[in-house]
Protein backbone atom coordinates (compact mmCIF):
# COMPACT_ATOMS: atom_id res chain seq x y z
CA UNK A 1 0.00 0.00 0.00
CA UNK A 2 2.83 2.40 0.86
CA UNK A 3 4.31 1.86 -2.60
CA UNK A 4 0.98 2.63 -4.32
CA UNK A 5 0.61 5.78 -2.25
CA UNK A 6 4.18 6.75 -3.19
CA UNK A 7 3.20 6.51 -6.86
CA UNK A 8 0.39 9.00 -6.27
CA UNK A 9 2.68 11.27 -4.23
CA UNK A 10 5.39 11.09 -6.91
CA UNK A 11 3.04 11.97 -9.75
CA UNK A 12 1.54 14.75 -7.69
CA UNK A 13 4.92 16.34 -6.99
CA UNK A 14 6.84 15.75 -10.23
CA UNK A 15 4.05 16.27 -12.76
CA UNK A 16 0.98 18.45 -13.23
CA UNK A 17 -1.27 15.39 -13.56
CA UNK A 18 -4.26 15.78 -11.19
CA UNK A 19 -4.05 13.21 -8.40
CA UNK A 20 -5.85 12.81 -5.06
CA UNK A 21 -4.31 14.83 -2.25
CA UNK A 22 -2.35 12.69 0.20
CA UNK A 23 -0.64 13.93 3.36
CA UNK A 24 3.05 13.23 2.92
CA UNK A 25 4.72 10.94 5.45
CA UNK A 26 8.37 10.01 5.71
CA UNK A 27 7.75 6.33 4.99
CA UNK A 28 6.46 7.14 1.51
CA UNK A 29 9.76 8.72 0.47
CA UNK A 30 11.51 5.37 0.46
CA UNK A 31 9.74 4.49 -2.79
CA UNK A 32 9.89 7.87 -4.55
CA UNK A 33 13.20 7.09 -6.35
CA UNK A 34 11.69 3.81 -7.57
CA UNK A 35 8.69 5.71 -8.90
CA UNK A 36 10.80 8.22 -10.88
CA UNK A 37 11.49 5.93 -13.90
CA UNK A 38 7.76 5.15 -14.04
CA UNK A 39 7.01 8.86 -14.09
CA UNK A 40 9.54 9.27 -16.89
CA UNK A 41 7.92 6.51 -18.91
CA UNK A 42 4.49 8.07 -18.40
CA UNK A 43 5.71 11.58 -19.32
CA UNK A 44 7.44 10.23 -22.41
CA UNK A 45 4.56 7.98 -23.42
CA UNK A 46 1.95 10.72 -23.10
CA UNK A 47 4.25 13.11 -24.94
CA UNK A 48 4.67 10.62 -27.79
CA UNK A 49 0.90 10.24 -28.20
CA UNK A 50 0.42 14.02 -28.24
CA UNK A 51 3.27 14.38 -30.75
CA UNK A 52 1.56 11.89 -33.03
CA UNK A 53 -1.69 13.85 -32.81
CA UNK A 54 0.08 17.17 -33.36
CA UNK A 55 1.95 15.69 -36.31
CA UNK A 56 -1.37 15.08 -38.06
CA UNK A 57 -1.74 18.85 -38.41
CA UNK A 58 1.15 18.84 -40.90
CA UNK A 59 2.91 21.77 -39.23
CA UNK A 60 6.44 23.00 -39.83
CA UNK A 61 9.36 21.45 -37.89
CA UNK A 62 9.79 24.79 -36.10
CA UNK A 63 6.25 24.81 -34.70
CA UNK A 64 6.52 21.09 -33.96
CA UNK A 65 9.73 21.67 -31.96
CA UNK A 66 8.12 24.48 -29.98
CA UNK A 67 5.16 22.22 -29.17
CA UNK A 68 7.47 19.48 -27.86
CA UNK A 69 9.38 21.90 -25.63
CA UNK A 70 6.17 23.42 -24.25
CA UNK A 71 4.75 19.99 -23.52
CA UNK A 72 7.69 18.94 -21.36
CA UNK A 73 7.63 22.24 -19.47
CA UNK A 74 3.87 22.03 -18.85
CA UNK A 75 3.76 18.35 -17.82
CA UNK A 76 6.49 18.93 -15.20
CA UNK A 77 5.24 22.35 -14.14
CA UNK A 78 8.62 23.83 -15.02
CA UNK A 79 10.04 22.18 -11.90
CA UNK A 80 13.31 21.02 -13.44
CA UNK A 81 13.76 24.14 -15.56
CA UNK A 82 13.58 26.18 -12.38
CA UNK A 83 16.29 23.90 -10.97
CA UNK A 84 18.52 24.61 -13.98
CA UNK A 85 18.13 28.34 -13.42
CA UNK A 86 18.83 28.17 -9.68
CA UNK A 87 21.86 25.92 -10.17
CA UNK A 88 23.26 28.14 -12.93
CA UNK A 89 22.77 31.24 -10.78
CA UNK A 90 24.73 29.65 -7.95
CA UNK A 91 27.47 28.08 -10.08
CA UNK A 92 28.25 31.14 -12.20
CA UNK A 93 28.37 33.39 -9.16
CA UNK A 94 31.83 31.91 -8.50
CA UNK A 95 31.41 32.37 -4.77
CA UNK A 96 32.38 29.96 -2.01
CA UNK A 97 30.20 26.90 -1.47
CA UNK A 98 28.16 28.29 1.42
CA UNK A 99 27.33 31.42 -0.55
CA UNK A 100 26.43 29.32 -3.62
CA UNK A 101 23.96 27.32 -1.54
CA UNK A 102 22.43 30.55 -0.23
CA UNK A 103 22.04 31.88 -3.78
CA UNK A 104 20.40 28.63 -4.83
CA UNK A 105 17.76 28.99 -2.11
CA UNK A 106 17.06 32.64 -2.99
CA UNK A 107 13.65 32.97 -4.65
CA UNK A 108 14.82 35.93 -6.74
CA UNK A 109 15.91 35.29 -10.34
CA UNK A 110 19.44 36.42 -11.14
CA UNK A 111 21.01 37.44 -14.43
CA UNK A 112 22.90 34.16 -14.75
CA UNK A 113 19.64 32.24 -14.36
CA UNK A 114 17.96 34.20 -17.15
CA UNK A 115 20.90 33.89 -19.54
CA UNK A 116 21.23 30.17 -18.80
CA UNK A 117 17.51 29.59 -19.40
CA UNK A 118 17.68 31.37 -22.78
CA UNK A 119 20.74 29.37 -23.85
CA UNK A 120 19.16 26.15 -22.62
CA UNK A 121 15.94 26.77 -24.56
CA UNK A 122 17.81 27.69 -27.74
CA UNK A 123 19.98 24.59 -27.50
CA UNK A 124 17.05 22.28 -26.80
CA UNK A 125 14.97 23.85 -29.57
CA UNK A 126 17.84 23.50 -32.05
CA UNK A 127 18.45 19.86 -31.18
CA UNK A 128 14.78 18.88 -31.33
CA UNK A 129 14.37 20.76 -34.61
CA UNK A 130 17.40 18.94 -36.02
CA UNK A 131 16.00 15.64 -34.76
CA UNK A 132 12.76 16.24 -36.65
CA UNK A 133 14.52 17.32 -39.85
CA UNK A 134 16.71 14.21 -39.78
CA UNK A 135 13.55 12.14 -39.23
CA UNK A 136 14.76 10.41 -36.08
CA UNK A 137 12.20 8.19 -34.37
CA UNK A 138 9.95 10.06 -31.95
CA UNK A 139 9.96 6.91 -29.82
CA UNK A 140 13.21 8.22 -28.36
CA UNK A 141 11.09 10.80 -26.54
CA UNK A 142 9.67 7.89 -24.53
CA UNK A 143 13.07 6.44 -23.62
CA UNK A 144 14.91 9.69 -22.84
CA UNK A 145 12.62 10.94 -20.01
CA UNK A 146 12.73 7.49 -18.44
CA UNK A 147 16.53 7.23 -18.60
CA UNK A 148 17.08 10.72 -17.22
CA UNK A 149 14.84 10.01 -14.23
CA UNK A 150 16.34 6.56 -13.68
CA UNK A 151 19.84 7.96 -13.32
CA UNK A 152 18.43 10.83 -11.28
CA UNK A 153 17.02 8.21 -8.90
CA UNK A 154 20.31 6.31 -8.76
CA UNK A 155 22.10 9.54 -7.86
CA UNK A 156 19.74 9.99 -4.91
CA UNK A 157 21.05 6.68 -3.58
CA UNK A 158 24.73 7.23 -4.29
CA UNK A 159 25.50 10.94 -3.92
CA UNK A 160 26.44 12.94 -0.87
CA UNK A 161 23.90 15.58 0.22
CA UNK A 162 25.13 19.17 0.25
CA UNK A 163 23.18 20.12 3.39
CA UNK A 164 21.03 18.50 6.05
CA UNK A 165 17.98 20.31 4.69
CA UNK A 166 15.87 19.78 1.56
CA UNK A 167 16.20 16.36 -0.04
CA UNK A 168 18.54 15.21 2.71
CA UNK A 169 15.78 15.79 5.23
CA UNK A 170 13.34 13.85 3.03
CA UNK A 171 15.47 10.88 1.98
CA UNK A 172 18.34 10.46 4.47
CA UNK A 173 17.82 7.32 6.50
CA UNK A 174 14.60 6.49 4.64
CA UNK A 175 15.63 5.13 1.23
CA UNK A 176 17.26 1.71 1.08
CA UNK A 177 20.31 1.02 -1.07
CA UNK A 178 19.04 -2.32 -2.35
CA UNK A 179 15.95 -0.66 -3.84
CA UNK A 180 18.21 0.35 -6.73
CA UNK A 181 17.77 -3.18 -8.04
CA UNK A 182 14.12 -2.45 -8.82
CA UNK A 183 15.15 0.56 -10.91
CA UNK A 184 17.71 -1.48 -12.82
CA UNK A 185 15.18 -4.27 -13.41
CA UNK A 186 12.52 -1.81 -14.60
CA UNK A 187 15.00 -0.19 -16.99
CA UNK A 188 16.13 -3.55 -18.32
CA UNK A 189 12.57 -4.57 -19.20
CA UNK A 190 11.70 -1.26 -20.87
CA UNK A 191 14.99 -0.96 -22.74
CA UNK A 192 14.68 -4.57 -23.88
CA UNK A 193 11.30 -3.66 -25.37
CA UNK A 194 12.87 -0.58 -26.99
CA UNK A 195 15.52 -2.79 -28.60
CA UNK A 196 12.76 -4.96 -30.05
CA UNK A 197 11.51 -1.79 -31.79
CA UNK A 198 14.98 -1.29 -33.32
CA UNK A 199 15.84 1.68 -31.13
CA UNK A 200 19.55 2.08 -30.40
CA UNK A 201 19.50 2.52 -26.64
CA UNK A 202 22.96 1.34 -25.52
CA UNK A 203 24.74 4.62 -26.43
CA UNK A 204 22.06 6.49 -24.47
CA UNK A 205 22.59 4.31 -21.38
CA UNK A 206 26.38 4.69 -21.57
CA UNK A 207 26.12 8.47 -22.02
CA UNK A 208 23.73 8.75 -19.06
CA UNK A 209 26.08 6.72 -16.87
CA UNK A 210 29.18 8.71 -17.83
CA UNK A 211 27.43 12.03 -17.30
CA UNK A 212 26.08 10.85 -13.93
CA UNK A 213 29.62 9.96 -12.82
CA UNK A 214 30.91 13.37 -13.94
CA UNK A 215 27.97 15.24 -12.42
CA UNK A 216 28.43 13.53 -9.07
CA UNK A 217 32.03 14.76 -8.89
CA UNK A 218 31.00 18.19 -10.14
CA UNK A 219 28.33 18.46 -7.43
CA UNK A 220 30.72 17.54 -4.64
CA UNK A 221 33.41 19.92 -5.88
CA UNK A 222 31.15 22.91 -6.51
CA UNK A 223 28.40 22.46 -3.90
CA UNK A 224 29.63 19.83 -1.42
CA UNK A 225 27.00 17.40 -2.76
CA UNK A 226 23.53 17.38 -4.26
CA UNK A 227 20.44 19.43 -3.47
CA UNK A 228 16.95 19.32 -4.96
CA UNK A 229 17.93 21.96 -7.52
CA UNK A 230 21.17 20.25 -8.46
CA UNK A 231 19.48 16.89 -9.00
CA UNK A 232 16.68 18.59 -10.94
CA UNK A 233 19.17 20.31 -13.22
CA UNK A 234 20.83 16.94 -13.78
CA UNK A 235 17.61 15.63 -15.33
CA UNK A 236 17.30 18.49 -17.81
CA UNK A 237 20.97 18.42 -18.78
CA UNK A 238 20.89 14.65 -19.25
CA UNK A 239 17.92 14.92 -21.60
CA UNK A 240 19.66 17.55 -23.72
CA UNK A 241 22.76 15.36 -23.96
CA UNK A 242 20.69 12.32 -24.95
CA UNK A 243 18.78 14.26 -27.61
CA UNK A 244 22.13 15.42 -29.02
CA UNK A 245 23.31 11.81 -29.19
CA UNK A 246 20.14 10.79 -31.03
CA UNK A 247 20.75 13.61 -33.52
CA UNK A 248 24.47 13.24 -34.14
CA UNK A 249 25.28 9.61 -33.29
CA UNK A 250 22.28 7.33 -33.76
Q: Is the pLDDT of residue 242 over 90?
A: yes
Q: Quickly state the pLDDT bin for 213 (edges 50, 70, 90).
A: very high
Based on the structure, what is the number of domains in the chain? 1
Position 25 in a domain? no
Q: Quickly state the pLDDT bin for 43 (edges 50, 70, 90).
A: very high
Position 90 in a domain? yes
**Percent of the chain with pLDDT strictly greater than 90:** 29
Position 215 in a domain? yes
- pLDDT score, position 26: 65
Owning domain of residue 117: 43-248
Q: Quickly state the pLDDT bin for 125 (edges 50, 70, 90).
A: very high
**pLDDT tens for each residue of 176-205:** 778 888 888 888 888 888 888 788 889 999
Region 134-140 average pLDDT: 89
- pLDDT score, position 52: 87
Residue by residue, what is the 3-state secondary structure of the chain?
CHHHHHHHHHHHHHCCCCCCCCCCCHHHHHHHHHHHHHHHHHHHHHHHHHHHHHHCCCCCHHHHHHHHHHHHHHHHCCHHHHHHHHHHHHHCCCCCHHHHHHHHHCCCCCHHHHHHHHHHHHHHHHHHHHHHHCCCCCCHHHHHHHHHHHHHHHHHHHCCECCCCCHHHHHCCCCCHHHHHHHHHHHHHHHHHHHHCCCCCHHHHHHHHHHHHHHHHHHHHHHCCECHHHHHHHHHHHHHHHHHHHHHCC
Q: Is the pLDDT of residue 99 over 90?
A: no
Position 201 in a domain? yes
Position 225 in a domain? yes
Higher pLDDT, residue 95 or 216: 216
Higher pLDDT, residue 79 or 168: 79
Position 108 in a domain? yes
- pLDDT score, position 215: 94
Position 37 in a domain? no
Amino acid sequence: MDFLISIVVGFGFFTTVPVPFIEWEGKYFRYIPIVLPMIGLFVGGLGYLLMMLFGMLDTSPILYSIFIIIYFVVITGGLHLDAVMDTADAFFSRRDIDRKLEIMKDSRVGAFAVVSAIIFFLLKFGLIHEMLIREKSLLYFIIIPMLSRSFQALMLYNCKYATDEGIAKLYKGVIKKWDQLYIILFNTVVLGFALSLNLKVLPLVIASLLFAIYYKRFSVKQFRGITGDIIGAFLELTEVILIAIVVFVL
